Structure 1
Amino acid sequence: MKKMNLNFKKAKVSIAFLVLIGLLFMTGCEKTDTNEGAVAATEVSTATKGLTAKTASTAGDIGNGVNLQPSYYNSGNCDLGWTLMKQNTKIKSVRIEVEPGQETNAKRWISEAKSNGFQVIVTYHKSSVLGSDSASELLAAGTWWKNNYSSLGGGFIVNLMNEWGSHNITPSAYASAYNAAIAQVRAVYSGSIIIDIPGWGQETATAACAVKGCSSGQTKITDTKIILSAHIYPGAYNQAKGRYMNTSDIDDLASSGRACILGEFGSIGGSGADWSGIVDYAKNKGWTIIGWAWAGDGIGMNMITPQFQSYVSGSPKTYTKTSYFNTIYNKL
């Protein structure tokens, strides 16, 4: 049932993506199993402007914001709609998902986000392995960061890999794989590393145990400069607890002793979890919350319309708000 709940988000892209490009296999950045899944009105406050990975050492230093998933449209040559985004000043940060192979486009996306005054999180997003337990895939993400962080311009926060780890992975296996991948990233980056918790961002107990240890001799994540990221949708399911997610899962993740955020949240994708109540609860605890999605979703969770248009230097495209816009914006 869970797998039928959350595959839309990234599956969202699958739809538009497979039809338009036919290059990638969008398996769905699930939210519970089947889904997955981008500020200021002319002026961003001085306090927020320029606050990047170099100064953001805790989740509390990251402003609330939106996700962008441009890799799967116009072969990545996308106009990201900065003019409209800057008119909506509650958006302080952007989380940009990058499919490997989109490095050239990503360098421009990141540069534009920074020049427009937003805090930037960049996520390695390999659509064909969402929810995978393959340690080699996570290590490949770490190596990708080692090879590309500097050439992408640096000065942003690294989200090591989008939604790696299934509902079934053990705390030890999750920790062991992340220890190896984090070591690769640390060769080029000393800032806080965001890591998505397993089960498409929903296995809070597994992630907490991977950090603090819940059994004798268990492997734990050794790097302390990490931020745990949960993803919340209506179909969000905590398999370890045998139920849909609720606010207690926010406290459970916080028990890890590490900073925590909601790296994604949205109102579509199954049913069973009070996504709105969970998001409010996390925000009230001081967690950063990042909505899905400014644009790039293939199943209806887009804050702007039309879908990403082709980028033309010096000729920014015009976008308007969708009916979904306020669903996300009002939470920020």
Structure 2
Amino acid sequence: MKKMKFIAQKFKMISTCLVVLSVLLLVSCDKSESDSASTVAVLKSPTVITSSSLTSKTASSLGDIGNGVNLQPSYYNNGNCDLGWTLMKQNTKIQTVRIEVEPGQETNAKRWISEAKANGYKVIVSYHKSSVLGSDSASELLAAGTWWKNNYASLGGGFIVNLMNEWGSHNITAASFAAAYNAAITEVRKVYSGSIIIDIPGWGQETAIAACAVKGCATGQTKITDTNIILSAHIYPGAYNQAKGRYMIAADLDDLASSGRACILGEFGSIGGSGADWSGIVDYAKTKGWSIIGWAWAGDGLGMNMITPQFQAFVSGSPKTYTKASYFNTVYDKL
């Protein structure tokens, strides 16, 4: 979700009309954090519509993820969405889709995933519980792991698991982050042996904390024990690295790479606060061979949608027509 010190939540509220799902949790961040957070939260909250140094392995070394775009269809037409494959296939730099799935949308998600694979895309699927984004609740992360155990096979398999979207606040410690992920990963491993994408804490911005959660930065510190993981940062203009006391800079990606694990930018976009050079950071990630995945093909709710109109209702055998939105090239030119 959107970034910076911000408590954002891509709230994708599931009710009719729009809901600002309780604003947010940025509890012990300083004033600039609070300001940025609320800004981004609103920007990424969709309107609900009814009817290095230690060079890390590149993500491509773990399966050639490729660059692509995010889709957030759970909150439109009750999830019964036409995803716009006809237009997407005309824009061949898009190789990968990251699909966010709200629990309760499993039936629709099975179709979304099947269509993405049938159209030749590499698929990442992210468990996305809108009401707990940025949470430090280990029980919520474990619930995500259990959800994967119960649903991976029925969703069709053959995709990369993004265990949970933006779990962990700016304030979580590396040891707590690692301990919670160790428990959740144990559940996922009961049904899935592939690479697991882990969104780093602080809405995808706390690079140093994530690196310490993997390699340990204190004697006897709990570390993430599974080595077949991919660390995912989320980059926006308001991206804030609280551990460093400043907005994110390109060198933060070197910190993440020092973990020795594969790394990607699981989200990036041009809206939401200010202070971080989002464009320069994305370019730097590409020089490191990282896959980058833009926010968003559709489903953002406000300004960061590559296509227009928003997701339309799915009708089998009658694909909907979409056109490029003014924001399209902001993402596509980076891929």
Q: Same fold (TM over 0.5)?
A: yes
Alignment of 1:1-332 (within 5 A): 6=6, 10-11=10-11, 13-14=12-13, 18-20=15-17, 25=21, 33-34=37-38, 35=40, 37=44, 58-59=61-62, 61-332=64-335
Summarize deviations over 1:65-114 as a string: whole Å, max 9, x none: 00000000000000000000000000000000000000000000000000
Unaligned runs of 5+ in 2: 27-32, 45-58
- The secondary structure found in structure 2 opposite 1:61 is coil
Decide whether the 8 Å contact of 1:231 with 1:264 is kept in 2.
yes
C-alpha contact (below 8 Å) 2:8/2:203 kept by paired residues: no
Pairwise CA distance, 1:10: 1.2
Instruction: State the Cα distance separating 1:298 from its structure 2 match.
Output: 1.4
Cα gap change, 1:195 to 1:26, in 2 (>3 Å): farther
Distance 1:296 1:174, change over 3 A: same
- Partner Cα separation in structure 2 for residue 57 and residue 327 of structure 1: 23
- TM-score of the superposition, structure 2-length normalised? 0.87
Percentage of pairs with the same residue? 80
TM-score w.r.t. length of structure 1 = 0.88
Runs of 5+ consecutive residues of structure 1 not aligned to the other structure: 38-55
How far apart in 1 are the matches of 2:260 and 2:193?
A: 20
2:266 alignment partner AA: G
CA RMSD of aligned residues (A): 2.3
State the one-letter code of the partner of 2:140: E
1:193 Cα offset (Å) = 0.1
Aligned length: 309
Residues 1:269 and 1:6: Cα distance change in structure 2 (over 3 Å): farther
2:203 touches 2:234 (CA, 8 Å); kept in 1? yes
Label 1:3 to 1:255 Cα distance change in 2 as closer, same or farther (>3 A).
closer
Specify the alignment match of 1:52 in structure 2. none
Q: Is the 8 A contact 1:179 1:223 kept in 2?
A: yes
Asked if 1 retains the 8 angstrom alpha-carbon contact of 2:7 and 2:134, the reply is no
Give how far 1:58 is off: 3.9
Q: 1:121 touches 1:156 (CA, 8 Å); kept in 2?
A: yes
